[in-house]
Amino acid sequence: MRKSGMEKGKGKAKEAVGKAAGDRRMEAEGKTDQAKGKAREAMEKVHEATEKTRDATKRRAS
């Protein structure tokens, strides 16, 4: 599993525990963790696309 998926999962769990316990701070931390996971996921996708483009360019140049 990617780090982004783990971070989003951790955030969802933390948010749920915070809601159940009435802990608004923990709930907010969970939402923040989920947002970090989504941002990391976007960066991973950009990185993968960049690598694919680089590899395709190398193949054409050969």
> Please, what are the averages of pLDDT over each run of 10 residues along the chain (62 residues)?
86 97 97 96 95 90 76
Range of the domain at 40: 3-61
Q: pTM of whole model > 0.95? A: no
How many domains in the chain?
1
pLDDT at 38: 95
CA dihedral 35, 37, 42, 43 (to 10 degrees): 120
The reported pLDDT for the residue numbered 1 is 64
